[in-house]
Structure 1
Amino acid sequence: MGKITIRIIVFVLALGICAYALIQYGFFSAKDAGFVSIKLRKPDFHLEPWVYVLYAHIITAVLSLVIGPFQLFLKPANLKRVKRHRMLGYTYVLSVSISGLVSVYLSLYATGGWVAGLGFLLLDVLWVSATWISVNKIAVLGDIQAHKEWMLRSYALTFAAVTLRLWLPVLLILYDGSFIAAYHVVA
């Protein structure tokens, strides 16, 4: 597969997950979402304030998922593009930072219990860390190549939202339809 094909696939998958999130949580009630409906079956689960934290995560994660391909694949050749790259970069870093922080709270209530929660907590820590290491590489050290490499790692962790949704149906088949077993593995 060529670089252009991979870039198109990444962009289409990122937009697909963003569209799914916007439709599921923007047009329908969060109570109707598959993951949320599982949580609502537990008598000790309270939708509020959890759902507000979920919305903060969704908005910021979707923003970072959309910004990523533009930052990774479009090279800032002139001053105008450099300024745009920096502005999108600031937005991306802020979005990842907010989403990663609120996701720590969400990981405490992860579907699948502590196993999935631990997986998501580790993802949150790595996601925010890779992003800020990338910022350090460019802002403090001026190392453009290291900045690119760490930002690619950051976006790969951002893209976990996509890969989770791609792997989950496969794992459901492998685990004979056991959602919790499949979710433990994918988390």
Structure 2
Amino acid sequence: MDAVAALQLLIAVAFLSIPVVRSRYGARAQASVEAELGRQGVRSTVMAENGMRLDAGGHETWAPVGIAAALVLPALLSIAGSSWSGTVSWVVQPLVILVNCVILYSNLTAVPSVTAAFARSGDAELQRIDVRSMLAAAEKGFPRWVMPYLQNLRHVVVFAGSISVLAVLAAG
């Protein structure tokens, strides 16, 4: 297997870690959030009523799985010796970098963006939530190694791996 394919498969695994961790620990994180909401005097069901969840449902599964599949395609083409692998990689890798920039931005701006979303919702119950405390409770619901360690490792693998893929393609 060539270096580009190996890197693409490694990046795919990094994205798959998101739904795997959420599937395994999301219910615990959700329970932690619900307890925090109760402490704040907010009904614990308000998140579920508004379609917000911490498990591997919805976009927390289809987005990373879709990205992983998009990375596996050029890796398999490369392993098969197809001349299309480079072309597909030149399209996929910049998109992966862009998507990961959006994810990183979302992680870094979670408190203000969730606060703003709650304010726009028109739901008085959501607007009363201390978002910083709620997100801290969610984070505590996951094992200590998830945030920030796994989260940061995933970003390093995605960014460094993608840049390395593009550098190898450019040099080739």
Give the TM-score normalised by the residue count of structure 2: 0.38
**RCO (CA 8 Å, sep 6+): is it higher in 1 or 2?**
2
TM-score (norm. length: structure 1): 0.36
